Amino acid sequence: MGLACLLCITLPLLMIALSDTKSTWRHITCDAGSFPPGQPAAVTCNLHTPVSALKRTVSVVRYRSNAPTLDIEGSGGATTTMIHLQTGTGEQSHVSVLIIGIILIVVAVVVLAATGVHYFRKKSSAKQKMKKKEKRDEHTDAVSMLQQIPTRNEHEQVLGEGEALIQQECDGPNEKEILKGFEMNNEACQEVMSLLQREIEANVGKDASATIKMFSTLVKDLPRGEENGQFMVVNLGSRSLRILFVRIEGPQIETHDSKTYTIPPDVRLGTCVQLLNFLENRLSMFVTSKQLTDKETSVGVVFSFPCKYAEEGDLTTARPKKWTKGFNCDKVVGKDFGKLLHEKLKNKLTTCKLTIKVIINDAAGLLIAGIHKDKACRISFVIGKGVNGCYMKDNGSDGTVQGHGDEKTIIATEWGALGENECLEKFRTDFDRTAVNFSMSPKEQILEKMVGRLYIGEIVRQVLLLLTKESHLFKPFYSELPALNEKRGFTTENVLIIDSDMDQEYLTTRDLLQHLEFDNISDEDCKLVKFVCRIVLQRAAFFAAAALATLVKHVQQSHVTVAIDGSLWRSHLRFKQQMMAKTKELVGPDFDVTFLSIIDGSEIGAALTTAL
């Protein structure tokens, strides 16, 4: 195609150049009379320009039929000369060449433009198809991929990559000292497991000394794969409100018509009235756009914050116990949030009857979705902006959840709160302590702030800032760059991109740093930045693995399925692999763990609970 376009441009340009080639000309006027173009003719011309007397045969090169002017080649010989003319071939021939050349250029330009448009459309379409394929592949293959527990050699290889980082990638002794606090060996993981297990046992025994307040969700039944119906689900998350429909047809579940609304800071940090007004406004917009007027719709609400039910077994009476993940709405904690929301919708949405059937924690909803897919599912684990884990309190002797029709209790462990009694201070670094200063509650959710996606980028920024100040990185010091000097200037998304850079020349890392306005980036800079991102993520994966291994050992089943979801888990393969491998290593050979990845698991669980 490129060669054809080159010819289309070169050929007409060459023809035009030839059409402008000059010979030696004399301009004469003669009484030529009329004669047919293209035919030989004898004409006596009166030459007004003095020329040498010469009788010769010439060819007319440019002939104007409307004027008695002929341009002849060569020099003449007398004032009056009898010449033989070959008329009609000169000017018309060259004009034709010129016109054809121009036409070809126009055609070439059109072809090139069309080709360019087609190329970019094709490239854009290919990117879109690739994204869709990746999402589809992740959705389709997630379960089968994650159920493959690494063999001993495989998980040793995955863990070995992380444990060799300091020796292989961090060369300077000062750099090693700065980053030493992020190392997590098995002894440290076992200590975290012991601390969390003690908290679980204290809650089970209703010991007042427990520092983590774990909450129970009592469900009257569990999904059997026979549920049917379509339900609206409202997910109140850390930074966004998501509304969607979940259609259930027995074992088949489909989510559709999803709409996400960003929750502005003045709502997240405002009052109860502002939050309820926001929810009512967005629900009204969604109802109108989906033409749900005069329809009765059952609603399940995913509430991704610690909450306790005012009445045991009534899943509409959720009362928030505290805010996490950047929320701090006034006059909500301790209130019957379900009742407040129901009254708000009842008074405002007069054209559509929305009935709130369930308000459920995101991890509890994920566990319900896991049981729908696999009756051996006993644990759910959420790894996203925040973290949490649930386990089913009662179980059958064979490891499957039993007793359809009997009430079952789901325990939300709230393991992200571990460390609020300062039991994790030996594992925290100065970077961790500085990174949480922007938090509304810097002394709460300590482990979550070392693992959750909401904080990883800020921890890495603090490390890079110190390394730069001490001249280990980015020389000279970039004192004005937001990426280093502003809160959240270096995001967790940046960390994940850099850690995924597999190129030996650090092309992706270099491009990202240049986008953040760093100049003259050396290979050593890229290497060190990548190392910082990797070791912070590895520590988070190991902490998460320690928490999960604690739950696996607590339920005491030789084979247990873990339903797992969350933006950090879904978006980063290395984190996923390291967490799986370390969990396998920590639980030992006596426990067989199956990882069941469920996209939209919390929303599906809320819909299933509404259907029960």
What is the tens place of the pLDDT at every residue in 95-130? 555 676 677 677 767 666 666 655 555 445 544 544
Return d(Cα 25, Cα 74) in angstroms, integer. 6
Given a cut of 80, whether residue 48 has pLDDT beyond it is: no
Query: Does a cis peptide bond (omega within 30 degrees of 0) precede residue 476?
Result: yes
- Half-sphere exposure (CA, 13 Å, Cβ side) for 408? 24
* pLDDT on residue 51: 40
* pLDDT on residue 10: 52
DSSP 8-state symbol, 531: H
Return d(Cα 202, Cα 211) in angstroms, integer. 9
Phi, psi of 86 (to 5 degrees): -105, 95
CB atoms within 10 A of CB 143: 16
CA 111 to centroid of chain Cα atoms: 36
Given a cut of 70, whether residue 312 has pLDDT beyond it is: yes
Instruction: Give the residue, 428 or 148, on which the prediction is more confident.
Output: 428
Q: Residue range 411-422: average pLDDT?
A: 95
CA 545 to centroid of chain Cα atoms: 24
Q: Residue range 183-201: average pLDDT?
A: 95
DSSP β-ladder status, 252-262 and 240-249: antiparallel
State if pTM tops 0.75.
no
Highest-pLDDT range among 233-237, 286-290, 404-408, 478-482 = 233-237
Average pLDDT, the chain: 78
**Contact in structure between 565 and 382 (CB atoms under 8 Å):** yes
> CA dist 489 to 39, 408, 464, 520, Å?
83, 45, 11, 20
**Contact in structure between 520 and 163 (CB atoms under 8 Å):** no
Sign for the CA dihedral angle at 586, 588, 591, 595 comes to positive
Spatial strand order of the sheet with 559-565 comes to 215-219, 408-412, 387-392, 377-383, 559-565, 592-597
- Radius of gyration (C-alpha) of the chain in whole angstroms: 39
Q: Residue range 209-233: average pLDDT?
A: 90
Strand runs labelled E in 327-479: 353-360, 377-383, 387-392, 408-412
Given a cut of 90, whether residue 563 has pLDDT beyond it is: yes
* pLDDT on residue 608: 96
DSSP β-ladder status, 592-597 and 252-262: unpaired
Given a cut of 90, whether residue 1 has pLDDT beyond it is: no
* pLDDT on residue 98: 60
Given a cut of 50, whether residue 396 has pLDDT beyond it is: no
* pLDDT on residue 130: 46
The region of weakest confidence among 90-104, 170-184, 281-295, 379-393 is 90-104
For the chain, what's the residue count?
612
Highest-pLDDT range among 28-42, 58-72, 234-248 = 234-248
Share of the chain above pLDDT 90, in %: 49
The region of weakest confidence among 114-123, 170-179, 279-288, 504-513 is 114-123
